[in-house]
Structure 1
């Protein structure tokens, strides 16, 4: 049987029994292609002339056509037949790739259909009819592609589709189907916030360019994503939870506003708040926020209102770039962020009214539940005192932990345990865990053991009763687990990682992991997130009391060694261009974690950020300064400016006790940066000037200080900034520091561009570009292209400026700096506008607008530039 296949995609060809005839850009190929597109249909001679030769054919067009038809019949016998006034190819349409494509699309086999498309149909034929046909097929092809995307989304290929759909969305920025698919792909790959931001970008484009609102399907998708992207920060609900029916009813009835649950430690305030919050979550579709304020932790390191606000704003996806430095501004921003949202906020373990007042949104639909051991009284708050569990509820709580059959078998023992646990949920949980781990152990024996501890109890001191229960549970631990429990009471922060716990104990990680699991089974430890461990602050207090003097100092030193040395590893990977500080050998038993990627380092530094800050006052001078060095860059880039300043002040105090000139100089530079971030410019300048003196005899150190001083100069003092930078360059050249020279030259190119000396800006930019390329420094090249673009734009050389800003944007994208990529596209748009090309300007600004939205940056200036286009 003869097999025949024809192609019109990417050029016309025929395959007959494996023999291929390529027609190329010939009239014969054009003629065959026209007939194959209409396979099975009669095409008149006049139609053939128009489709093959165009609207203005030569005088002998019909004679030429007859000649070509004769040659085609000779080449492919039996293919073309005369039919009345026209011609037809006698083939099965499914033997032609174009018709097979359409058949497969109709059958829902889009992957097979798309695999056939190797180019445009009739790509070698340049006539109006062919162009029109290609345009029509482009719409068919797009529809098939989007159908195939729908199929892949249904197969959960979300992450793989994101790059493809991003590119398609850039090509078709107003196509709502493409927008919806990209939004679905982002959401399905766990990037819901990006999905919501892309919707906002599309909504703005539709309004700016068409004066239209998003379609109903796209708007419905946005509503669904908004719900999916709402913060869900509540801890897991307590299990089991027993009783508290009156208090739950009061929480249900409380009007939207502020409720304060007060009571003694261990009485179950947090359990009540979290249990009710989960039960009421549906009332707050815009999210549930949770912050542990650590008001009564053993370290005394309560969370400051500023830090709590940063956590809340971050959970609400408020960009750090928009967060003010002052507490009042942050409080106002939180109110703005919650203005139209139905949100529940749980503020756990508060110290006093001053700690919580700045966190209260006071918006109509936001509801706040606060827990505290003290009777704090924010304005217009509803108070809910929490007493001991009623006896029946206390018995039920214990029974739910040890098993109801066992409880019914020994009712008197249950009553005794409940009484000696003072009806406190925390004590009952610990005692119940002890009994549950030994089901063969008579409950009466447990009650008798608690009785032996009555000497520790005090009717007026609930904590004393808890201490008795804790003591009994600790007796059931293995010696190694008990030792680890004691040591955990020394931890400066509120939680600890597995590697940190191993270092604290001086044990191998697997052994430590097994001991932590034993403590968790005894209800003496929680693992709120994988790999991080914490416990109730009363348990931590008790553990600290048990710690032996002989083990305290060495254990704490090992933990601080782990934090300091691991933070250096993370800091070096986070900012590879920084020179690694000298580090001591770790103490025996210390685990030092290594990192391979920037993302790994960032994740660790931010996870350990609270622990590192809490550890700094307890470290040796060397440990404290190393932690401060490691935190400087990440706290600056993540906009934790108060912690940046505090960490560098602590590091500086530590270095005053060390003979480390380089470390002192570096810390003074970081301190100057922190002071500048909070607006204390005079103090920042003084710190940098001191750093300059410290680096006397070290030209590279002094040069680095000069560049940092230059960065403090406002726009009206750019000539002074240039002078500092020139001095820094001279010093870097003196000591042969190539990286420093490149930084200085980049600063000079920027400064000359700012003051309009464009020739000098270009001279320095071209000189430094050679250095950045030799070092393979992508961001340095990006900044240099940007400086060249500024200079060329100032000189009116618009084509060169556009090229430079385009290259700058490309390099910033490669370097992963989306805000600066967005800025480069905005400058590219400004360049096109200056050149009088409104369409290209608009295109670049729209790209910049999208990048601003994806990075969560304000874009009012860009919107203003696009506004006139709607007139």
Structure 2
């Protein structure tokens, strides 16, 4: 049996028993193609002429067509039949790639169909009919692609689809089906905030360009995402929770405002607040915000109002670029963000009114619950809810829930004794109950006897005066290794610790440490606050610190600080690969040094450990302290934690002044100069950089790096001064053969000359830099250099080359993940198109810049003004 198949994607060809006949851009191929597209349908002579020769065929066109038909029928005998009214191809449609494509789409095999359509339909035929068929098929292909996207979304390929859909959206910004798919993909990738921003962007464009509203499907999707994106930060509800009926009723009845729950340590303030918050969550559909302020934790662990504000703004999906640097501005932004939202805010473990005052939004629909051991008096009117000991019946119920009803019923007198000797404190009862639950064979009376020494304070007004007896009782059930680890955990400088940190503290392997942490959690002495991170009540922590053996305290803390410092370096190198890795000492025996495979993993570790690193730095050796400061410098700068950036680099400089490390001191002074500049202390920043220059005496590469940083501080009216610093830096980099530094300096010179109108020099320096960046395959370096070339060409009047340069610049900035500079490149591309007289291309480029800026929360006034002026 003869095997025949035909292609009309790309050039027209026929395959007979595996042997191809390629027709190329011939009239025979065009004629065969138009018949194959309509296989099984009769096509008249005049239609054939129009399809093959166009609207204005030459004289004797029908005779020419007859000649080609004859030759084609000789080449492929039996394929084309003459019928009344014209000619027809009689062949199984599935032997023609176009018709096979349609069959695959109809049967749901879209991936195969898309792979089949790998070239343009009838690509060698350029007539009006062929062009229209290509447009029609492009719509078919797009529909098939979008069907395939739906299938991939259903199978969970959200993250893989995001970049593909972003390309489609850029090509078809008003297509609502594509927009809905991108929104679904972003949401499914954990980027719900980006999904909502894309909806808002599309809604604005539909209104501006079409005067239309989003479809019902998109609006429904938007509502679903808004519900999904509302912050749900509450800790897990306490289990079991009993009693407190009066306090719960008071919380239920309190109008929106501020309620301060006060009481002694261990009395159950947090349990009450969290239990009620979960119960009342439906009243606050726009989210529940929670933060542990660590007001009564170890010294230095209390959370600053600024850090708490940044956490809330991040949870509310406020882009980092929109967050002001000052505390007052951040507080105002929180108020604006919550203005129309019904949100519950739980401020746990506050130390004083000053800590919570900036966090109070004072908006009508926001309700704030605060817990504290002290009676806070914020300036905003607040209701006070003092929390006393559990009533006896509630205390018995709580212990019963821990140990089991049958056991409690069997020994009611022992239950009463344990309740009395635990002073009706929920924390003490939870520990006693956990001990009893882990030893079900022990009589409850024996547990009560172990607590006998608590009778001395059970009725005392200061009921927490000697909780050590309850804690001691709980610790007796621990294995010796778990008891040792518990004592060492009291030394941790931050409010929580990772598995690797705990292993380093104890000098044990990860599996053994994980098992011991689980034992402590079962005894209620430790909580896993989030996967892989552990914390405990501050009263337990204080007690634990007393248990640590004096002979190993210093070594254990040194191991933990070694873990933080050396793992920090590993994370810092992966987070910013272009940084020079500092020299690091060998880790002490027993230290776990974590390494990272991806930028995302490194970033996640740095942000999780940021508070702990800040708390640990004052306790480290000079080497540990400066390495922790080094690891934090870039991430704190990029995440706009400028106060911590400045504080960490001040500590790092002080540490390095005790070490013989001029390179470390020089680079840390540069980081300090950067931190000072970020908070507007420019004179001090310049002084720090000048000191770095002195420290680097005899080190030309170090001094050159300082000069480039000084140049970056120069405002626009001092560009010639910046150029002089950069030229000096370039000479020093050339002297020591530092090619990376040379490329940086050349890029700085190209930028500076572009700023002052020296366009020819800008192009000259940019071309030199480009060769070096390309040799290094440095994406951001190439992006900046294309940008400088665009400025130079535009200034020289070469609009075509400028447009190409800005297009390349935007592409490389996108690859490098810099949205702000990508947006600027698109704006400059629009300026170039306008200068060249192409207003439509200018509008498209500006619109892309506006979309990027709006999506990232960046200022967009300049490009918006250009778009509005062009529309007028």
TM-score w.r.t. structure 2 length?
0.96
- Relative to 1, partners in 2 of residues 1:700 and 1:380: Cα closer, same or farther, differing over 3 Å? same
Displacement of 1:570 after TM fit?
A: 1.9
1:154-193 alignment, distance < 5 Å: 154-193=154-193
Which residue does 1:290 correspond to in 2?
Answer: 290
- Relative to 1, partners in 2 of residues 1:25 and 1:735: Cα closer, same or farther, differing over 3 Å? closer
Which residue does 1:426 correspond to in 2?
Answer: 427
User: In structure 1, what is the Cα distance between the partners aligned to 2:615 and 2:503?
Assistant: 19
Q: Secondary structure at the match of 2:467?
A: helix
Structure 1 residue ranges without an equivalent (≥5): none
Displacement of 1:732 after TM fit?
A: 2.7
1:622-641 alignment, distance < 5 Å: 622-641=623-642
- Relative to 1, partners in 2 of residues 1:70 and 1:742: Cα closer, same or farther, differing over 3 Å? closer
Aligned residue pair count:
871
- Relative to 1, partners in 2 of residues 1:705 and 1:160: Cα closer, same or farther, differing over 3 Å? closer
User: In structure 2, what is the Cα distance between the partners aligned to 1:708 and 1:120?
Assistant: 52
1:271-282 alignment, distance < 5 Å: 271-282=271-282
**8 Å CA contact 1:454, 1:468 repeated in 2:** no
Tell me whether 1:33 sits opposite 2:33 in the alignment: yes
Displacement of 1:212 after TM fit?
A: 2.8
1:561-710 alignment, distance < 5 Å: 561-710=562-711
Displacement of 1:464 after TM fit?
A: 2.9
CA deviations on 1:431-483 (whole Å, 9 max, x unpaired) are 11111111111111101111145457671322234322111001111111111
**8 Å CA contact 1:266, 1:426 repeated in 2:** yes
Displacement of 1:117 after TM fit?
A: 2.3
Segment of structure 1 superposing worse, 361-370 or 764-773: 764-773
Displacement of 1:738 after TM fit?
A: 2.8
**8 Å CA contact 1:258, 1:369 repeated in 2:** yes
User: In structure 2, what is the Cα distance between the partners aligned to 1:706 and 1:85?
Assistant: 84
Segment of structure 1 superposing worse, 92-101 or 432-441: 92-101
Which residue does 2:12 correspond to in 1?
Answer: 12
- Relative to 1, partners in 2 of residues 1:45 and 1:858: Cα closer, same or farther, differing over 3 Å? same
Tell me whether 1:391 sits opposite 2:368 in the alignment: no
1:120-519 alignment, distance < 5 Å: 120-378=120-378, 379-454=380-455, 459-519=460-520
User: In structure 2, what is the Cα distance between the partners aligned to 1:788 and 1:398?
Assistant: 74
TM-score w.r.t. structure 1 length?
0.96
Tell me whether 1:771 sits opposite 2:759 in the alignment: no
Displacement of 1:869 after TM fit?
A: 4.2
- Relative to 1, partners in 2 of residues 1:757 and 1:101: Cα closer, same or farther, differing over 3 Å? closer
- Taking only aligned residues, the RMSD between alpha carbons, in angstroms, comes to 2.1
**8 Å CA contact 2:422, 2:458 repeated in 1:** no
User: In structure 1, what is the Cα distance between the partners aligned to 2:90 and 2:143?
Assistant: 29
**8 Å CA contact 1:692, 1:705 repeated in 2:** yes
User: In structure 2, what is the Cα distance between the partners aligned to 1:597 and 1:94?
Assistant: 47
Displacement of 1:486 after TM fit?
A: 0.8
**8 Å CA contact 2:676, 2:682 repeated in 1:** yes
- Relative to 1, partners in 2 of residues 1:341 and 1:61: Cα closer, same or farther, differing over 3 Å? same
**8 Å CA contact 2:422, 2:454 repeated in 1:** no
Which residue does 2:868 correspond to in 1?
Answer: 867
User: In structure 2, what is the Cα distance between the partners aligned to 1:770 and 1:73?
Assistant: 58
**8 Å CA contact 1:420, 1:465 repeated in 2:** no
Segment of structure 1 superposing worse, 652-661 or 281-290: 652-661
**8 Å CA contact 1:298, 1:537 repeated in 2:** yes
CA deviations on 1:515-540 (whole Å, 9 max, x unpaired) are 11111110000111121111011110
- Relative to 1, partners in 2 of residues 1:569 and 1:142: Cα closer, same or farther, differing over 3 Å? closer
Q: Secondary structure at the match of 2:451?
A: helix
Q: Secondary structure at the match of 2:371?
A: strand
Displacement of 1:391 after TM fit?
A: 1.6
- Relative to 1, partners in 2 of residues 1:370 and 1:84: Cα closer, same or farther, differing over 3 Å? same
- Relative to 1, partners in 2 of residues 1:40 and 1:612: Cα closer, same or farther, differing over 3 Å? same
Q: Secondary structure at the match of 1:82?
A: strand
User: In structure 1, what is the Cα distance between the partners aligned to 2:816 and 2:328?
Assistant: 35
Displacement of 1:323 after TM fit?
A: 1.6
Runs of 4+ in structure 1 displaced over 6 angstroms?
none
User: In structure 1, what is the Cα distance between the partners aligned to 2:90 and 2:789?
Assistant: 63
**8 Å CA contact 1:208, 1:866 repeated in 2:** no
- Relative to 1, partners in 2 of residues 1:87 and 1:689: Cα closer, same or farther, differing over 3 Å? closer
User: In structure 2, what is the Cα distance between the partners aligned to 1:115 and 1:602?
Assistant: 38
Q: Secondary structure at the match of 1:88?
A: strand
User: In structure 1, what is the Cα distance between the partners aligned to 2:500 and 2:855?
Assistant: 35
User: In structure 2, what is the Cα distance between the partners aligned to 1:424 and 1:726?
Assistant: 70
Segment of structure 1 superposing worse, 91-100 or 286-295: 91-100
**8 Å CA contact 2:341, 2:366 repeated in 1:** yes
CA deviations on 1:29-73 (whole Å, 9 max, x unpaired) are 322332333333332222222222221222212222222333333
Which residue does 2:62 correspond to in 1?
Answer: 62
Segment of structure 1 superposing worse, 162-171 or 574-583: 574-583
**8 Å CA contact 2:423, 2:458 repeated in 1:** no
Segment of structure 1 superposing worse, 65-74 or 241-250: 65-74
User: In structure 1, what is the Cα distance between the partners aligned to 2:5 and 2:816?
Assistant: 48
User: In structure 1, what is the Cα distance between the partners aligned to 2:277 and 2:443?
Assistant: 37
Q: Secondary structure at the match of 1:243?
A: coil
CA deviations on 1:828-868 (whole Å, 9 max, x unpaired) are 12211222211221222222233324434232322222223
- Relative to 1, partners in 2 of residues 1:69 and 1:204: Cα closer, same or farther, differing over 3 Å? same
Segment of structure 1 superposing worse, 348-357 or 62-71: 62-71
Displacement of 1:497 after TM fit?
A: 1.0
**8 Å CA contact 2:790, 2:806 repeated in 1:** yes
Q: Secondary structure at the match of 1:462?
A: coil
CA deviations on 1:580-622 (whole Å, 9 max, x unpaired) are 3232222222222223333222221111110000011111222
- Relative to 1, partners in 2 of residues 1:377 and 1:46: Cα closer, same or farther, differing over 3 Å? same
Q: Secondary structure at the match of 1:593?
A: coil
User: In structure 2, what is the Cα distance between the partners aligned to 1:58 and 1:551?
Assistant: 100
Q: Secondary structure at the match of 2:290?
A: strand
User: In structure 2, what is the Cα distance between the partners aligned to 1:11 and 1:726?
Assistant: 57
CA deviations on 1:653-701 (whole Å, 9 max, x unpaired) are 2233333333322222221111111011111122222222333333333
**8 Å CA contact 1:570, 1:630 repeated in 2:** yes
Displacement of 1:94 after TM fit?
A: 4.3
CA deviations on 1:404-455 (whole Å, 9 max, x unpaired) are 1111111111111111111111111111111111111111110111114545
User: In structure 2, what is the Cα distance between the partners aligned to 1:460 and 1:546?
Assistant: 27
